[in-house]
Structure 1
Amino acid sequence: MTELTSRLTDQQLKVLYSALHSDRVGFNPKGFAHVQQWDVRRFLIRVFGFGGYDTELVSIDLIREIEHPANNGGKSRWTVAYRVHQRLTVKDIAGRPIATFDGVATGDAQNQPSLGDAHDGAVKEADSQSLKRAAVNLGDAFGLSLYNGGKTNPVVLWSAAHPHLTIKGPVAGQDEAKPEDPPVEPEPDVTSSEPEPEPTRPAAVPDPDPTPPPARAVPQQEQPAPAPSAAPAAQQQRPGAMPATGPNERQTALDSMWEAARAVNFADGLPAQFETAFGHPIEQGTAAEFRQARDLMTGSAAA
């Protein structure tokens, strides 16, 4: 450390300056980039230690509870929405508070067969998003760079409060040249109804050979067609989103898989789990894989 008094150690600063690894980035069904809540907590523990941070639910407000009666006189389904205000406090290694950050978010659970599950799912989503929005004040390691066009390239790079360190390591003095700032990309449009208005993922580049490995080979007509390279950027399919092609077997299977994911409140986790299970993103999936994923979720729901 230098003569400058700091409440953070050099090792903590190195982690905070570090770039967000692409493996930590997930994408929701509409193609919005984000980090998972558990991953945020993992890095809070890594940087500040066990007991090195506190969270406080300042308020939890029920926004709407909507009943959807069944047409045939059967059991109603429910849609619930909550707003959560959460406060994150981080501490130094002596346990003294360093800073406090607030995050506010809404979460919903749609068309659920159980009223209790609908409330539980909506509160959990709002709690998750509010924590992430509070933690993003801690910089790139907590997803700040995703707001710069969905990129993982670091944006903080250095701080005048800690002039002896930059993202590239120690520097000789305060007059040392600082790393060059990356280009500033537009922030996401937060006026839509998207429950998690995170930064949008850049347009996907079609895989030049989308054919699955031989062990999972399927008929040729089930292979996803790459998006035309001449299509306007605004019309390109976002990763994880349903293709805009006409009805066919693959589209039907994809729709069915997403419906099953929403029914078990697993829509957020589906893209990452699908890629883990099949070795490629959803947009490169086949009808057979979509049906297999659907059957697994339907089976877990039945259990």
Structure 2
Amino acid sequence: MGFTRAQVEQLLQPINTVRVLRDGKGHSHVSQQDVLAHLIRVFGFGNWDIDIVRVECVFETERVKDDKPANRWDVCYRAMARLTIRDPEGNEICHYEDGSTATAQNQTRGDGHDLAYKSAISLAKKRAAIHLGDQFGLSLYNKGQTSALVRGTYVMPEGESAGKDVQEGVERQVSLGNDEIERDLDASVPEPERPVPTVKVDPNWVANFERRIDDASADQINALRQEVLNGFKHQRLDSDTGNRLMEAIQQRQAELGGQEAA
């Protein structure tokens, strides 16, 4: 037994735009939690597996400042994941493998490994799922296209139609965690370099934002991160300031994690 007719009809649907996120550079992608939720929606609980075939550290490099170790690190990991889809009786229908690398820059040594490791695994999972078509982000590689790229198939099983789109009612996705950044999406065709616009940053806003980071609770971290991303998007922040604020947010998140563990 292969896919049901209802499953194939769902896979031929264009991706619901509420599931699509954009990163600070305007690249479209779907979040890791949305991919996992959609696998459950389409194939059910227990009818798919994601196995991490391989994960390894590519490099760790300590930064140097004034000819002395800065205790800040750049770390890169690569991962390979296998996605297996089964029918309701547990028989394998298909499996796909894909991989990715991820780099965490200017982190403490522990945070660098943690962020790069998780990012590489998350990206590998998402890339494996893209083989299932537009419902899992395939069309987004065409410059963020949300209309269907796969509009039909000659292999259509018999059976009953679902009669509805399983994406209906899904809430708009807003999360953009550090392990959800798909940096190479929309990059199949290199774009010509464009002049970088001059961004005037309000120093008072930055100082106030840094105080908010210092006082932030765990529940406020994602909202602060989204503010920085919006600042990039609307050209209120330059890359140096934005990256510095992101690093401060990550540091505060690590501090809060340590407090909870204690």
Task: Report if TM-score (shorter chain) is over 0.5.
Answer: yes
Letter in structure 2 aligned against 1:126 = A
Matched with 1:48 is: 43
Q: Is the CA contact 1:106–1:195 (under 8 Å) kept in the aligned structure 2? A: no
- Using CA pairs below 8 Å that are at least 6 residues apart, which structure has the higher relative contact order? 2
CA offset at residue 274 of structure 1? 2.9
**Over residues 60-119 of structure 1, what are the superposed CA-to-partner deviations in whole Å (9 max), with x where a residue is unaligned?**
121111011454968501111011011110111111110010111001111102x12111
Q: Does structure 1 residue 137 correspond to structure 2 residue 124?
A: no
**Over residues 177-218 of structure 1, what are the superposed CA-to-partner deviations in whole Å (9 max), with x where a residue is unaligned?**
xxxxxxxxxxxxxxxxx9731115xxxxxxxxxxxxxxxxxx
Select which of 91, 101, 110 maps to 1:106.
101
Secondary structure at the counterpart of residue 58 of structure 1? strand
Matched with 1:127 is: 121
1:1-150 equivalence runs, <5 A: 7-71=2-66, 76-113=71-108, 115-150=109-144
Matched with 2:201 is: 249
Q: 1:301 to 1:120 in 2, by over 3 A?
A: closer
Matched with 2:184 is: 197
Q: Is the CA contact 1:58–1:87 (under 8 Å) kept in the aligned structure 2? A: yes
Q: 1:67 to 1:159 in 2, by over 3 A?
A: same
Unaligned runs of 5+ in 2: 164-180, 214-220, 257-262
**Over residues 131-179 of structure 1, what are the superposed CA-to-partner deviations in whole Å (9 max), with x where a residue is unaligned?**
11111110110001112222100011211111769x9x8xxxxxxxxxx
Q: Is the CA contact 1:26–1:35 (under 8 Å) kept in the aligned structure 2? A: yes
Q: With structure 1 as the length reference, what TM-score do the two structures score? A: 0.59
Percent of counterpart pairs with the same letter?
32
Rounded to whole Å, the distance in 1 between the matches of 2:253 and 2:38 is 30
Unaligned runs of 5+ in 1: 1-5, 170-193, 201-232, 237-243, 262-268
Rounded to whole Å, the distance in 1 between the matches of 2:10 and 2:26 is 27
Rounded to whole Å, the distance in 1 between the matches of 2:53 and 2:199 is 47
Q: With structure 2 as the length reference, what TM-score do the two structures score? A: 0.68
Q: Which has the higher helix share?
A: 2
CA offset at residue 33 of structure 1? 1.5
| C-alpha RMSD over aligned residues | 4.2
